[in-house]
Structure 1
């Protein structure tokens, strides 16, 4: 186990963390007992206290059990955008010792049908704007019931600090087969007594499926608790923390850092359904937000807001995120504006968010950070499985309390994705990394994304990080292009800053690149774009751009 990073471990934090043997649902109950009148969720001006949040969880759980027959170990599809109903549904499912299967709101009916079949799902909880995609499941799959929520039921127009997005106000479209949320909450029957354990399967988030069919990652209360309490401790969350919740909650990073950790600490979430930089700035000022975990594309947009100087965002104490490297120039803009350094982390669905964090007091830019509590992270040779010599690049493998229990119904993939080292089982992340002499880890790229240019390995993420240093580049995405002589060559899609449009040509970017990276790495082709295909969590869908090539 590497220990170089312990020299830079955050002050006043232990190097190991004892995880409670209680469950995620217990976290909510304990916070409600300690802070019953405290606001748990502020949603566009509307508020839910811990007492009312727990009460609605109990009523939904009672309905699911008594009216729909939900039993322990049943799997339920949670298909909603960020909303109080997402949180209520999540904990109500856990209350029955059933399993949450969260789905990306951008999922199609075909995507949902795959999850339903893979997990033998009979019940779906969804938002009204997504109902038309969920409804066909009743005709073609095992789904029996669909509960439909209207997010607008929880807002307060008069108290909202800014205009409320149309997506929150509702579609007004009728749904004939779904069960209305208000009917569910009218339930008066209590659920059975709770006797959940840490070993209960709590949730099965699915991988994105960019390298094949999506795979369900089986997580117990114990694995999720490891990162819930790890995030809370690392980011110094207390009851008076105010978290700006902008990352989608179906995604593991948003769920753990922006919902589960705040609830475990008894703090408040300021929740947004859709990203809106003006609403975010006004919310930070109005509610004194202290913590904000995001993705780099959100922060880039936030800092590019010409009206930002009109808002007081001095309450912010911690800003960080992961999923995509933050350009160094943006990190400097953040520091100049707030005095805060961006705290990047690294993780996967298989590890229910982070395995690595940057120390908040000593972060490095475009860096995965150092291994989190009780994580053994190693770099191995892709071909031999042996530990690489010195600080060479190789595949990242991890062992830790947050690592999943395996892929659901995927025995072959489970064997292929694990390796035994020194008597311990490690998960093979498929990410190529390198570690510096201080024990910090840096992403080189995805193993499957490598470009082979005339026999040289080119990692798109590395090229992108250099391109971001160009003062005219707003965003960049690098892919491979077939080439007669080189086999593959490097192509860069680029979005220019507003002020650079019309002044910079593709050839200018290529010439600049020649002087800033090795001859085999620089892009031979540059194509300007106005936008990139993105996931709902803000990641660039490089594979879609690659497929077009």
Structure 2
């Protein structure tokens, strides 16, 4: 029998359009002096979508977004998605060569950029022939089309694009660095689950007034950004973070929800403005990106808000959360899986570990990635199958589950360094430092830093005479800001296992032993 009704898929773009229609005069987004009601925000998204469609954008085409925090950046991202494209937000901390590498890897056909990216892009645009259109926000120049000219004359109505659950929504890069980083491809269905599951876990409703403090290209920011827009709340975007500005905005705007990395919490706790601040409006403040030291957590709960949530997860699509009200004996854990996810801990042979036995954390759920972009071997290596044949994804992290299913993290994801909430992969930094003529061998580790949580230390086996300061200056000129070295130390040899692999844990331990609680 022919079905009379279609099978509706109410996706995130549809939800934004509904808010534009039924909440038209309510505030949607505020960033600095710029604000949009839901009606105007939705209209801006649609104009960009129509402009892209008129420019020949096809379903699934990738569009790079290199923009600083702004209302317009959000309109561009969701305009790309509404047009049937796949948004590729990229970091503003990358070098010119790194940006070019990610644009090429994503196969982006168009690119939007704000003024802060222009100088780095102008030097590489000639090598990116796949990009047919460069759209500028806040500046003009040869072969750049100003954003206002690109959208002029296009309607504010929602285009007739029907999104499918399996369509690509965005690509998030796990690290924008030298070599070939991993592009995490996420679908409409995965992002829809991401939006409503985090909204429920964090209590984000249409009454939420959420403050984002980190860059909008970051997947961590999306943990609160996407649920707030999905629910029809009001999103307040900090153009750049500063602790006094955070406290002032929380009070003035009666902020209910926010997200920060540990380094930001530390800056707020150390700021004199906290003494007279009113943060009573805060219902939930999420910490993610790197582990929050226990002593810092206690101070946050006492001095900033009792509504602290800690989230452990990875952009590939899994998360666990510890929320207020959990038993005291779970204080040092990262909680249980976010709704819609399952979790296991497995040993080196792929067998499930018993409670209390450490192993690799693997996760499963509706928010998982579709694949690593154009890297099938890496995608396949990510998979672990449970007894029912479900494809869990490997974290590379070592953890342990207790009898109640609460997860405790034992070790960091491989050797990754998390500095100020940004993921830094030592091999990428080592690839740069190793090019210095005075460097015979190099090992990069993360060491404690009062402000950033961790920072990069390069341990170098020199070739002849070597000046550590000169090596550091040379390398930092070639590294992204968040990758830069804090120091260089000379060594005669590295501890290695029987296969010659450097034992980085032995190198790290002396630097961390005095900070452990």
Shorter-chain TM-score bucket reads: 0.7 to 0.9
The answer to whether the Cα contact below 8 Å between 2:98 and 2:176 also exists between their aligned partners in 1 is no
TM normalised by structure 1 equals 0.74
More deviation, 383-392/270-279 = 383-392
Quick one: structure 1 residues 269 and 144, their matched pair in 2 at CA, closer, same or farther if it must change by over 3 Å?
A: same
In the other structure, the counterpart of 1:207 is 174
In the other structure, the counterpart of 2:57 is 70
Aligned-residue RMSD, C-alpha = 2.9
Q: Does 1:358 align with 2:322?
A: yes
Aligned-partner Cα distance in 1 for 2:311–2:495: 35
Q: Does 1:417 align with 2:404?
A: no
Q: Does 1:427 align with 2:393?
A: yes
Quick one: structure 1 residues 483 and 81, their matched pair in 2 at CA, closer, same or farther if it must change by over 3 Å?
A: same
The answer to whether the Cα contact below 8 Å between 1:237 and 1:265 also exists between their aligned partners in 2 is yes
Aligned-partner Cα distance in 2 for 1:372–1:198: 21
Per-residue deviation at 1:145?
Answer: 1.5
In the other structure, the counterpart of 1:392 is 357
Aligned-partner Cα distance in 1 for 2:240–2:38: 24
- CA deviation string 1:329-353 (max 9, x = no partner): 22222222245152111221211xx
Partner of 1:449, secondary structure, is coil
Partner of 1:73, secondary structure, is coil
Q: Paired residue for 2:194, among 212, 227, 233? A: 227
Quick one: structure 1 residues 48 and 341, their matched pair in 2 at CA, closer, same or farther if it must change by over 3 Å?
A: closer
Q: Paired residue for 1:406, among 371, 382, 385? A: 371
Aligned-partner Cα distance in 1 for 2:334–2:492: 33
Per-residue deviation at 1:425?
Answer: 1.0
In the other structure, the counterpart of 1:134 is 121
Q: Does 1:246 align with 2:210?
A: no
Quick one: structure 1 residues 477 and 87, their matched pair in 2 at CA, closer, same or farther if it must change by over 3 Å?
A: closer
In the other structure, the counterpart of 1:318 is 284
The answer to whether the Cα contact below 8 Å between 1:325 and 1:367 also exists between their aligned partners in 2 is no
- CA deviation string 1:404-457 (max 9, x = no partner): 111111111111110211121111111111122321112222353299xxxxxx
In the other structure, the counterpart of 1:369 is 335
Quick one: structure 1 residues 409 and 303, their matched pair in 2 at CA, closer, same or farther if it must change by over 3 Å?
A: same
Per-residue deviation at 1:319?
Answer: 1.1
Aligned ranges 1:266-281 → 2 under 5 Å: 266-281=232-247
Aligned-partner Cα distance in 2 for 1:370–1:49: 37
In the other structure, the counterpart of 1:41 is 29
Quick one: structure 1 residues 29 and 238, their matched pair in 2 at CA, closer, same or farther if it must change by over 3 Å?
A: same
Q: Does 1:52 align with 2:40?
A: yes
Quick one: structure 1 residues 292 and 139, their matched pair in 2 at CA, closer, same or farther if it must change by over 3 Å?
A: same
Aligned-partner Cα distance in 1 for 2:177–2:92: 17
The answer to whether the Cα contact below 8 Å between 1:74 and 1:99 also exists between their aligned partners in 2 is yes
Per-residue deviation at 1:361?
Answer: 2.4
Q: Does 1:24 align with 2:12?
A: yes
Per-residue deviation at 1:367?
Answer: 3.1
Per-residue deviation at 1:261?
Answer: 0.6
Per-residue deviation at 1:304?
Answer: 1.0
The answer to whether the Cα contact below 8 Å between 1:40 and 1:50 also exists between their aligned partners in 2 is yes
Aligned-partner Cα distance in 1 for 2:452–2:95: 30
Aligned-partner Cα distance in 1 for 2:220–2:492: 38
The answer to whether the Cα contact below 8 Å between 1:83 and 1:273 also exists between their aligned partners in 2 is yes
The answer to whether the Cα contact below 8 Å between 1:59 and 1:184 also exists between their aligned partners in 2 is no
Partner of 2:354, secondary structure, is coil
Q: Paired residue for 1:448, among 408, 414, 437? A: 414
Per-residue deviation at 1:62?
Answer: 1.6
- CA deviation string 1:507-537 (max 9, x = no partner): xx97x67xx79xxxxxxxxxxxxxxxxxxxx
Q: Which has the higher contact order (CA 8 A, sep 6+)?
A: 1
Quick one: structure 1 residues 486 and 179, their matched pair in 2 at CA, closer, same or farther if it must change by over 3 Å?
A: closer
| Alignment: residue pair count | 439
In the other structure, the counterpart of 1:506 is none
TM normalised by structure 2 equals 0.78
Partner of 2:183, secondary structure, is coil
Partner of 1:333, secondary structure, is helix
- CA deviation string 1:83-111 (max 9, x = no partner): 11111011111111111111111122222
Aligned ranges 1:114-193 → 2 under 5 Å: 114-141=101-128, 142-150=130-138, 175-189=141-155, 192-193=159-160
Q: Where does the alignment leave 5 or more consecutive residues of structure 1 unmatched? A: 1-19, 151-172, 452-459, 495-508, 518-549
Per-residue deviation at 1:473?
Answer: 9.8
